[in-house]
Structure formats: C-alpha cells, structure tokens
C-alpha cells in the first residue's frame, strides 16, 4: 500500500490506545486555548512527520531515511534561533555544519538497496524538520500536560490530516498486512512512546538522547539483515557525522525533545 496510507493507519490505529490510557488515568482534559497549538503540532509532528518518513523509506531505503531523520537537532538549533530568540553559538553552528557535511556525503553515496535520489533526500530532510517539532513544541506543551494527554489529541488529529491522501487499499490487503499495521501501531508507536517516557523518569535526559541516537544504527543493521541494504563508504562516513552532531547537540544544551521534561512533570 502507499507510504502515506501506512502513515495514516499507524496514527489511526494507535489513537484509541492513547485515548483509553488518558481516560483511564483521568488525563483527557485540556484547556480550550491550547487546542490550536495541539492541532498545529498534530499536523507537523504526526501528519507531516509520519508521511515524510515513510516516503523517504519508500524512495531511498531504511538506512538513508533514518540517517537523514537525525538532522533534527540541526534544525532545532536553527529554528530555535529564528523563532525563539535562542542564541546560535559557534558550537551550535559547528554542529549544524557537521550535519550538513554528513548529509552531503550521504546524499552522494549509494549502496546496495540504498537509493539517494533527490526525492529520498528531500523527504528524509523533511522528516528531520518535522521531527524537530517534538523538541521545540515539547518545551512548551509538557510543562502543561503529561505525554499521554498530548498524544491522545495529536494522534487522531494527525490521522485526519493524512486522510485525504488515503485510497484505503489496506481494506483489500491480506491478514499479513493488517498484522504489520497493528504491530506498527502498538509496538512502534504506543509502546515505544510509553517506554521512552517511562525510561526518562530514571535516566538523565542527555543520556536518554545518546541512547536514542542508536535508533538509526539499529535501523541500518536491521535493514541490512532483513532487506539486504548496505550503505556505501561515503554514506557510512556521512551517517557517522550526522549522529556525532546529534549526540554532541544533546550534551550541549540544545532544546530537548518532547518528553524530555516528563521526569519533572
């Protein structure tokens, strides 16, 4: 089925889980004045993020998509300076430059099963830009609501944003496809977010970010094992630069992703 339909079902199927969780913990209520901000986050952090990540995977492969996803800290540094008035220090500028060089190397490199086309790179960078909203929006929203409340609202709204792109080909798909969608919704979305935020209660934020940076490494390893993907030498070098920049940014006071204040809440 199309990449955007996979994105839709991921958000749609996990929505009842977040809503039920929020209802069970009596955490469904939000202030009316915060609804527009939550809707905006849903359209960027779910609609655009899920669609662009899936389109990047479809166009260029798993390894390429997840390396480009971790350009998010570089986007955070630039957007925080432009929108929030945060100072773009030399150190942050150097990390942005390191990410840019890494992306350039990844974009020039091919590999077995890896296709660094213009569309793949564009969608991958878009997913990184959309993912940066979790950092920027998270600073604001998690001072007001627990994570389950946020996702109980943004997941269904994000799914509605994807609805115009859906041709409902999944309705004629086999049981295997629906099992994949269910696992993506339950394991890769609801439980992934729940475990991540629970872990943050007992782990320093900077350490949690460093552990999360293993995501593209594991994605590349699994893509190699399952789909035979292999990044070329330039791609590996570029990926290392992107991940080093992301890790250093997390230790240098870059705005924290959504949920990084969950321990305080």
For residue 126, what are the contacts with CB-CB under 8 A and spacing of at least 6? 48, 52, 56
pLDDT number for residue 127? 96
Look at residues 234, 235, 49 and name the one whose alpha carbon lies nearest to residue 124.
49
Cα diameter, the chain: 54
Least confident of 32-41, 158-167, 243-252: 243-252
Of the pLDDT bands very low, low, confident and very high (cuts 50, 70, 90), residue 261 is very low
204-252 tens-digit pLDDT:
655 666 677 778 888 888 888 999 988 888 888 888 888 888 778 766 5
Q: Stretch 120-130: mean pLDDT, rounded? A: 95
Q: Is 30 helix (H, G, I), strand (E, B) or coil?
A: coil
Confidence of residue 200 (pLDDT cuts 50, 70, 90): low
- pTM of structure: 0.85
Task: Compute φ and ψ for 98, nearest 5 degrees.
Answer: -65, -40
Tell me what percent of the residues of the chain surpass a pLDDT of 90. 43
Separation CA 63–CA 219 (nearest Å): 6
- Mean pLDDT over 7-33 rounds to 96
> Would you state the pLDDT for residue 243?
84
């Amino acid at each position: 089925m199309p990449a955007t339909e996979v994105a839709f079902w991921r958000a749609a199927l996990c929505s009842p889980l977040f809503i039920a969780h929020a209802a069970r913990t009596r955490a469904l209520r939000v202030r009316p004045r915060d609804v527009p901000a939550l809707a905006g986050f849903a359209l960027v952090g779910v609609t655009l993020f899920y669609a662009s990540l899936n389109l990047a995977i479809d166009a260029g492969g798993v390894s390429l998509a997840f390396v480009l996803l971790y350009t998010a800290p570089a986007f955070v540094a630039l957007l925080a300076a432009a929108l929030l008035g945060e100072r773009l220090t030399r150190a942050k500028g150097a990390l942005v430059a390191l990410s840019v060089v890494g992306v350039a190397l990844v974009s020039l490199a091919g590999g077995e099963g890896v296709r660094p086309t213009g569309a793949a790179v564009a969608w991958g960078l878009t997913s990184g830009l959309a993912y940066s909203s979790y950092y920027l929006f998270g600073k604001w929203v998690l001072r007001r609501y627990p994570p389950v409340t946020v996702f109980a609202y943004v997941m269904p709204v994000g799914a509605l944003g994807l609805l115009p792109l859906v041709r409902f080909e999944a309705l004629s798909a086999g049981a295997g496809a629906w099992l994949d969608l269910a696992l993506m919704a339950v394991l890769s979305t609801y439980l992934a977010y729940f475990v991540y935020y629970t872990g943050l209660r007992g782990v320093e934020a900077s350490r949690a970010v460093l552990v999360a940076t293993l995501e593209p490494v594991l994605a590349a390893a699994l893509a190699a094992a399952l789909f035979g993907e292999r990044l070329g030498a330039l791609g590996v070098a570029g990926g290392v630069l992107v991940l080093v920049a992301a890790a250093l940014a997390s230790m240098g006071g870059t705005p924290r992703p959504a949920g990084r204040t969950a321990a305080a809440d």
